[in-house]
Amino acid sequence: MPQMNMVQAINDALRFEMRRDPRVVVLGEDVGKVGGVFRVTQGLFDEFGDDRVIDTPLSEGGIIGTAIGMALYGLVPVPEIQFSDFIFPAYDQIVSELAKFRYRSGGEYPAKIVIRTPVGGGIRGGHYHSQSPESQFIHVAGLKVVCPSNPADAKGLLLASIRDPDPVLFFEPKRIYRAAKGEVPEGDVTVPIGKARVVRSGKHLTLVAWGAMLYEALDAANQAASQGIETEVIDLRTLWPLDIDTIVESVKKTGRVVVVHEAPKSCGFGAEIVALVNEKAFLHLEAPPLRITGFDTPFPYTLENEYLPLSHRILPGIVQTARY
């Protein structure tokens, strides 16, 4: 199997699916000749031409609205929003139109598009290039939300997203675009949407993470092991629909749960996960569930490594929860 980073794996998935299915088109700011601001669509323009790899003006509402219309006509658009911080001009289209098409047509006519967008901190982008808005989309019934942590999952989940009948938001953690490397299966290999993965098993505590923070969670778990705490680490991979069964099964074994995410704590996705654990495994809990997250502030330029829930913030949380 070839070694790839996240950028290469996502590019590979797009190329594979565009070769397979002429209905698939890519559109967005700089996605054509430039190959995207992070070069994720590099080379697609040369292979598929400007009617399938479409440069757009800066017009997020127009991009998503147009993609919805394309989908209604039977195309499979994969629009790119250059940074997930720029998605808000299109928020109305996503929330008011995209998420509601299946509903408004009595369940018969989904507007199926995959919105790819880089997410999260780690490149010192400050408050307009670092945010993690996933919970603002999970809260909207009708959208699926995916966030891979490694190249193989990125390719497999993107292929699955493009073929999924529902609209999907595909968040790409930009901090690990090039840092995460690994073997990626060649050809048509999908990873199912809605399935989490236990990436480290342990009996004392369940640690839930996704995207770039998975590596911080693993780092903290390894450090905790030296203090005799065996942490089970779950990579959600798909945020919605949530694989709550995998989490609950783990919590029933460990009795303790810690959730890590970059987004601010209040009403972040960790709140939903903790609520579900309380509902489904309350009598198994040995300690209060804990969230280790970004702060309820804009994402800072300086202090980025304090804002992000890096391993140095996760480790004390693990120890505190394990020893409660």
Is there binding between residue 68 and other proteins (CB under 8 A)? Answer: yes
> Judged by CB under 8 A, which of 8, 102, 243, 273 binds other proteins?
102
Question: Can you read off the two tokens belonging to residue 155?
Answer: 């390719």
Is there binding between residue 57 and other proteins (CB under 8 A)? Answer: yes
Instruction: Report the nearest approach of other proteins to the CB of residue 56 (Å).
Output: 7
Give the residues across from 24 on adjacent strands: 76
Query: CA 160: distance to chain centroid?
Result: 14
> Judged by CB under 8 A, which of 20, 43, 46, 103 binds other proteins?
103
Of residues 60 and 235, the one with the C-beta less far from other proteins:
60
Is there binding between residue 51 and other proteins (CB under 8 A)? Answer: yes
Is there binding between residue 69 and other proteins (CB under 8 A)? Answer: yes
Q: Is 129 a catalytic residue?
A: yes
Is there binding between residue 263 and other proteins (CB under 8 A)? Answer: no
CA distance 69 to 133: 25
Of residues 94 and 199, the one with the C-beta less far from other proteins:
94
**Contact predicate 200/218, CB 8 Å:** yes
Phi, then psi, of 10 in degrees rounded to 5: -70, -40
Question: Can you read off the two tokens belonging to residue 111?
Answer: 């507007």
Query: CA 123: distance to chain centroid?
Result: 17
Question: Can you read off the two tokens belonging to residue 196?
Answer: 């989490």
Pattern 140-179, other proteins, x by CB under 8 A: -xx-x-------------------xxx-------------
Residues that contact other proteins, how many (by CB under 8 A)? 42
Closest CA relative to residue 191, chosen from 155, 240, 236, 243:
155
Phi, then psi, of 122 in degrees rounded to 5: 110, -5
CA distance 116 to 100: 19
> Judged by CB under 8 A, which of 19, 21, 96, 267 binds other proteins?
96
Q: Which residues bind other proteins (CB under 8 A)?
A: 25, 51, 54, 56-57, 59, 61-62, 64-75, 77, 89, 92-93, 96-97, 102-109, 141-142, 144, 164-166, 241, 244
